[in-house]
Chain A
Amino acid sequence: MSVATVNDPMVPQPYLVRQVTKETPDTFTLTLEPEGRADGNHFQPGQFSMLWVFGAGELPISISGDPSKDGRLTYTVRSVGEATHALVSRTAGDAIGVRGPFGKGWPIGAARGRDVVVVAGGIGLAPLRPVIYEVLRNRQHYGRLVVLYGARSPRELLYRKELAVWARQPDTQVLVTVDYGGLGWHGHVGVVTTLFKYARLQGARSVAMVCGPEIMMRFVTRELEAHGLARHDIYLSMERNMKCAVGFCGHCQYGPHFICRDGPVFGYEEMRPLLEKYEL
């Protein structure tokens, strides 16, 4: 008979909700702390956890906080169904079970000495925010930081205050667009790919990290290649229905890969044949 231990990746650890911040009408950021213990909570930007909402279910959610801040885990969650609604309805002091962190993150090390191009769509900015924190904290180790971010409308933009702060950092360009603007919006309007012409990219010295809906990533990778980025310098975060998070159950199988174990971050070269496969 096997016995579960605290290090067992299948056993959720108890965490308490410390803070819930409303980002948009349906998206919230939750900050969690381990209950009654001082875990390091080390994670790689791009990794995810399985969050267990007691009585509602378990969800794979990317970590969206600062990797240098030990002791707390931060997640940005869009309420789209019963379980996510239950998760974002938690309040300070509520308990949540956490497994992880899991998966392969963004190539932060390989990007050292290069320009870093972050391209995000919608809630896809959440798994990329730790990359931005990491680059800004170690500014001298990276070239330019270019953040291209698209959302559906101005009210659906995440982290608006932080976007403004990042835009003021040296050697950093932040361009934000929305698919549809209203009269009060004076920023860009158009899909995220329309930002590339303003981005002054130097393809040969850049590494790109892309996260958003798969269709958006297909459009973006074409644009990155057109701007001189090599396929092996483009990375994507993929999403499928993850259950066990350790490559046992097969729910998140994508071609020959398990997204939870082999990803969620993959090189574009590896993903390209699969992205173009009909109905995969």
Chain B
Amino acid sequence: MYVLPSTLTDRSVLQDWLGRNVLLLLFITLCVALGVAYFNFFTANNWILILQSSVIVGVMTIGLAFVMIGGGFDLSFAATMLFCGAVAARFMIGDEPSTLAALIVAPLAGAVIGLANGAVIVFSGISPLLGTIANSLIIRALGVLFVMETWMEIPGDASAFLFIGQGALGGVPFSVYLFVAIAVIAHIVLTKSNYGRRLFSCGANPRAARVAGVPVPATQVISYGICGLCAGIAGVINVSSVGGLSAVFNVSYLYDVITAVVIGGVSFFGGIGSIGTVVLGILILGVLKNAMIIMNLPHYTQNAVGGVFLIVAIGIDSYLQKLRGR
């Protein structure tokens, strides 16, 4: 996304390298600026906070990246996250809590929901934007009706389950390890697997992909399934870290993930994206939010700033695309 092809402009090697690594530079600049301004920015505590708060958004961002690389779009992941979190909570509450069931069924439910969602969108051909919004309403409503209660509390003795969101290994929260693992797996799948190649081809040029023998609809539906799976995992982590589930739909997740995926360089048109830059995007977003907390900005201002940031990020991206003549 931030690569300005040097064949199109007469640029020096330095400028070319700069163009390719804008994200990294942005990240470093941000950190330095904040570190200078706020002395407690570079403390271990603060960074644990940053990482921990980025995990849930981060996992879903990776999921959304898959869908977008394949040429689609998905807005239902926040609802799926809520739903699967509730499913996990269900297994933990009651007479026979089962951590194993919770950890297996919840993400699985997410995958199934994702596949169904994807099937509806891909096979009907309707706009993914609006279609997934509609699906998200349905998912959330079904969740509230059948699975959720206003507040579901995980019993305090479910230590295995709670460890996921609240535990730490060597000072680093366990959820961060989980995120890293997911990121690594995602990277391998995208860059080195058969499926990953196909996915990129579907996003880059669906017609050519079809002609080349790639099963385009199936590939795309699977990407939605992956997104749902990630949302399910995020839901489990969320419930585990909070210690329970509140049925209030936190719409800020939607905005955050979209912002992260845009900053992370995944193109809306498909065919472009990499886990490396996505992770950077997630971290940048995390740092920004952290900055707002440090600056003691109230909640709603954070949202507003998030919106501004989204506009700026995609404004720059769109403008660059225009310059490149897309």
A and B: bona fide binding partners: no
- B residues near A (Cβ < 8 Å) are none
